Every structure is written in C-alpha cells, then in structure tokens.
Structure 1
Amino acid sequence: MNKRQLGSSELYVSEISLGCMSLGTDHNKAKDIIDRALDAGINYLDTADLYDFGENEKIVGEAVKGKRDDLLIGTKVGNNFNRDEKDWHWDPSRKHIKEGVKDSLKRLGIDYIDLYQLHGGTIEDPIEESIEAFEELKQEGLIREYGISSIRPNVIKEYVEKSNIVSVMMQYNALDRRPEEEILNLLADNEISVLARGPLAKGMLSSKGQEKAQEKAENGFLDYSQEEVLEIAKRWQTFTTEEKTAETLALQYVLQNPTVASAVFGASSVEQLNDNLRYLESPPLTEQTYQDMQALTRGITYQKHRAK
C-alpha cells in the first residue's frame, strides 16, 4: 500500500483508508472489517466521539489492541453529547476539547491520538480558543497532530491562516468537485493535506451507481437533478475494465490530486470493503482517462456553507 505524507507532519497515511462511521454496533462484525482492512495495508482508521455516542471509538479500540504501533488513529471532537439522552450540541470551546480528548482516549484504550480533528465549525466559533486547545494537547503529548473536518471555505481559510493544522477532511468526489474550485490549491500552497471522505458519492460512483442514484438522489444531488446523476452513473461504468472497477475509478479520481493524502471510504461489510480494496490491484489512472472522467461532471462552488 502506497502512503502519502499528511501535510508537513511525520505522519504517512495509506492512500485509501477506513472511515469507521458505517461499521455498526456489532463488535465482531466490525472487528472483521477492521482486521481485513489492516491486513490489506490500510494504516489509518478514522472515527469520531459522536459516532454511535462513543460506541464507535470503543469498537475501534478493541479491534486495534496489540496493533497500535502499526496504525494511525484519527478521531474528532466538538459535539458535546449526552449518551443517555442521545442528544448533542456544538461546543468548540477549549474546555470541551481538552475534556473530550481524555474521554476519547479512554474509549479507544490508547495513550495518544495521531490526528485529532475539530468535527465541523462555523466562522462565529471562538477559533483562536479552539486552536489554543489543540496546541496545548500537542505539547502535552496527548495528540500528535490536529486538523479540521469541514467543507466551509471561510472556516478552512481561518484555520489555514491561524493554526498549524496538517489536514482538512472534506467531502470530495467526481460528483462533488467543490474543493477543486476553491480549496485544494489553497491547501497545497500551505502544505496541508486533504482527507477525502465520501469518494464514492454515497455509492453513486460504485458498481451499483444507478441503483444508488435512484435511492440517494431522489431530489437531486448538489446542483444535479436526479436525471443528470443517473446519466453520469451510467456513463461512469463505460470507464470500467477488468482491472478497473467503478469503485477503483472513484478512488483514483480523488487521489489524482496530490493534495489528497487519502481517500477515506466507509464499509458496513467485509464484502463492501473488498470491493474498494480492488483499488490495490489496478494500474494507475492515465491523465487522459482522468480528464475524460472529469468531463462527465461540472465544477461547482460552495453556496450554503460559506457565511457560517
């Protein structure tokens, strides 16, 4: 498995990595998925304290016992939740971040977190206070690096200017090309990497693309009508070969940009995971194929996620 440097840090993440939100709460099933991912060479697992109100972190922690030295673990903070009431509110305060890391470490059963990420954010947050908390945690050795998970251009720009983030996790795929229009060059210029979540666009760029488009794009997707998504999903299949599945193409598309350190996909079964692992058997994407794939969709910009 090829690895890419995360920003200017000493962390090197596998080109494809496992987003753990879709694992579910069956511990044995989740462990099978994680074990298969690790055996294939994936070295980065991405979770969050809010996923299943802490249960996801516990599952990840149990699955990586005895394997910690070979792994990078990322989790997120910012949603102050009540597990019993299944309720939460946004809290990017220094106090919550510094308390949240201890709770996550306990659930994960580890001594430090490789990548601690702010799980969202608005331009109205006390951004300097949040940054101060992350910097203190780094100095204390509880985290190695920090980043944010956000698609808000104004928030991202504030963190680029004021903090030492090494990564931004954001939705990025061939249907959602908003990062290409406004964010990727900014991050590249500042040696900050992207962790691309949702590279298969909710399955609409998978081998079941048209079926998923019927289900997930009933009211359209971003600036696309359902009819447009269905046509794109159909034409996406024309690029597939014996060596390149639709899933592989979707992963290769986002990884074609060097600012992307890893394509972070979810899996709810070993079978689904294996579909994505076909990426490892595929020859590189040619520049011509990349351009042809890109021509299927159009560049769009952030609208609703700008001011706040």
Structure 2
Amino acid sequence: MHHIHLRDLDVSRIGLGAMGMSQAYTGAGTDEAESIRTVHRALELGVSFIDTAEIYGPYTNEELLGRALKGRRDQVVLATKFGLVSHEGDGPGNQDSSPANIRTAVEGSLARLGTDHIDLYYQHRVDPNVPIEETAGAVGELIAEGKVRAFGLSEAGPDTIRRANAVTPVSAVQSEYSLFTRDPEARVLPALRELGIGFVPFSPLGRGFLTGTIRSTEGFDKDDFRRDNPRFTGDNFQHNLRLADEVKEVAAEAGATPAQVAIAWLLAQGDDIAPIPGTKRVTRLEENAAADALRLTPTQLDRLTNLPPAAGATHTKAQMKMMER
C-alpha cells in the first residue's frame, strides 16, 4: 500500500471509513465479528488510516473500533470527530464546537477508543455559533497536551479553513468527493494545496452507487439513510444508474471492478488525497484496497472525468445547511 502525507501525518493512501459498521446503511450493527475481521484485514493489507466519529451510533462505532484495535493501536492512524454531540446541551445531533464541549468530547472518545491520543481530530461540521478561531484554539491546546496529534475540518469552506489554519495548523479537510460529487474541485482543493493541507474524500463510491451493484432501493433496510437521499429517489436514481453503468464499462476495459476504478480515479487526482471508502465486509475491503495497484490510462481517466454530473443533492436540505459548499 502506498502512503501519502496529510501535512505531517503519514497515512495509507486508501483508508477505511467505519461508520457503516454501526449505522446508516443496511445491515449496520448486525455482525460485529465481521466488522472486527474487516478492521484486522485492513491492517494486514497496509490500510493504516481508519475514520470514525462520536456521533456514529452515537458512540457505538468508537467503542467497536476500541475493541477491534486492542493490542493493535500502534498500527493505525486513527481519526475521529467532534461537534455533532452537545454534551452539556441537547445531546446527539446538535452542533456544539465550543471549547468546553470539545474538552468533554475528547475524553469520551479517548475512553471509547481505548487510547491515550487521537491522531487526527476533526470538527465534524462548522458550528455557526462558535468562531472557528475558538474551536481551532481548543484543539491546539489538546495537541499541546498530547491528547491529539493533528487538527482536521469536515465540509468546511475556504474562508473557514484559512481562519482555522491561522490559529492551529490544519492537517486535513474531509469532504464528500467522488466521480458523483465534484464540488471540492472549484474552491476547496485549490485552497488546500495553497496551504499544504491534505484532502480526505468520504463517500468515494457514491454511497454504493459506483460499485455497480445497486439496481434498486427495495433491498434497503427501513432505516437506511439512502431511502431519503435525493440521489436514490425517482428520476435521479435512474439517471445515476446510467452513470454507474458507464463506470462499469471502463472497469470491464481496465480488468477491474467499478469500485476499484472509482477509487483509482480519485487517487489520480493528486498525491495529497486519501479516500476512505467505507465497508463492514472483508471482501469489499480487499476489493477496495486493491485499487492502490490500478493505473488507469489517460483515455480512461478523461472518460471518467467527463461524465455528466450526478442528479440530485448529496444530502437532504437539513443536512446541506451544515455544509459550507
């Protein structure tokens, strides 16, 4: 597995998103043993960058990783997130990036993860009620105390990134980025490259669309969040299926799977990008990790880059309001 740097953090250039092991997707939380096997197999394959958050569950995903990484903590660059649980206020799902809340959040995450430090600590969403300078300063104090190694932001815009970075160096920004979601290219990626900040794409497989295996939403559990996602409904779904079929055609030509092609396209966008495809299954983990060795031709890359835009917003209206896009 090749490695890249997110500022000073050395990470495998393909990571593992752990959220789906505990929530949001069909089958989440039903097979802890397989989830733990997936984490262990990731480490065996050199996937050393794992992503979670306190809100996932809430809390249960961090607890799962704490069990999975027991005795293996030194093999992984571990990222988690704060800011979507108000510990002294209204609880999970409510933004709070105040310094006091961050203090409470980090202690909880450290305990659940079974570690004395977090390698990359992200603000999960920009809090409109707390100046980013205060949030960045609070994380800077945690870095000085050794509880956190590096500071990250998620779904932040260029102005917020610059202001935060002026207080505490930002090592990585995490945003949705894939063949289906190209938003960061216009504003965020240029700013990150100017400032020397790494980029971590989440949902690099379009929440499963780009694997080529989804033909219908009928098999989704009732609490699968894709049931309400605009990209999976009505005419949008049919449009996006056609795009996924074009990716499948490139994959057949490349002798790879559609998921591998989608990840390889992302990796070709720069040596400062570390996508975190999520899975709870060993077989999918192995498939995704193998994309590290796939090199697409210039013609294949151009065909993928020039695909028409996906139809539908990436999130519901309420969720979009928390993103600086």
Given the two structures, how large is their TM-score scaled by the length of structure 2? 0.83
**Is 2:201 the partner of 1:196?**
yes
Residue 121 of structure 1 corresponds to: 126
Residues 1:298 and 1:156: Cα distance change in structure 2 (over 3 Å): farther
Change (3 A) 1:288 1:163: farther
Q: Which amino acid aligns with 1:63?
A: A
Cα distance between partner residues in 1 of 2:277 and 2:62: 17
* Structure 2 spans left out of the alignment, 5+ residues: 23-28, 221-225, 315-319
Q: Is the 8 A contact 1:21 1:56 kept in 2?
A: yes
Q: What's the CA shift for 1:151? A: 4.9
Deviations 1:193-219 (A, max 9, x none): 111100000111113154469975887
Residue 288 of structure 1 deviates from its aligned partner by: 2.5
Relative to 1, partners in 2 of residues 1:233 and 1:151: Cα closer, same or farther, differing over 3 Å? farther
Q: Match for residue 4 of structure 1?
A: 4
For the 8 Å contact 2:155–2:324, the answer to whether it is kept is no
Match in the other structure for 1:32? 37
The corresponding residue for 2:223 is: none
Higher strand proportion (structure 1 or 2): 1
1:234 aligns with 2:245: yes
Closer, same or farther: CA 153–99 of 1 in aligned 2, 3 Å: same
1 CA distance for matches of 2:218 and 2:85? Answer: 34
Name the CA distance, whole Å, in 2 between partners of 1:87 and 1:147.
20
> 1:229 and 1:69, CA in 2 relative to 1: closer, same or farther beyond 3 A?
same
Query: Aligned-pair distance for 1:37?
Result: 1.0
| Structure-2 separation of matches of 1:307 and 1:52 | 24
Q: 1:136-151, aligned counterparts within 5 Å?
A: 136-151=141-156
Which of residues 91, 97, 109 is equivalent to 2:102? 97
1:296 to 307, 313, 324: 307
Aligned residues: CA RMSD: 3.0
- Given the superposition, is the C-alpha separation of residues 219 and 129 from structure 1 closer, same or farther in structure 2, using an over 3 Å criterion? closer
Query: Residues 188 and 259 of structure 1 are in contact (CA less than 8 Å); yes or no, is this contact kept in structure 2?
Result: no
Please say which of residues 35-44 and 228-237 is displaced more in the overlay: 228-237
Query: Out of 56, 60, 82, which is 1:55 matched to?
Result: 60
Q: Helix, strand or coil for the counterpart of 1:262?
A: coil
**Residue aligning to 1:286:** 297
Taking structure 1 as the reference length, what is the TM-score of the superposition? 0.87
Partner of 2:172: 167
SS at match of 1:125: coil
* Alpha-carbon spacing, 1:306–1:116, altered in 2? closer, same or farther (3 Å): closer
Q: Which moved more, 1:42-51 or 1:25-34?
A: 25-34
Aligned counterparts, 1:5-20, within 5 A: 5-7=5-7, 9=8, 11-20=9-18
Q: Is the 8 A contact 1:138 1:144 kept in 2?
A: yes
Count of residues in correspondence between the two structures: 303
Q: AA paired with 2:4?
A: R
Secondary structure of 2:273's aligned partner: strand
In structure 1, what is the Cα distance between the partners aligned to 2:106 and 2:14?
A: 25
**Alignment match of 2:276 (pick from 260, 264, 267):** 264
% same residue: 28
Give 1:246's aligned residue: 258
Quote how far apart the aligned CAs of 1:122 are: 3.8
Task: Tell me how far 1:41 sits from its aligned partner.
Answer: 0.8
Cross-structure match for 2:267: 255
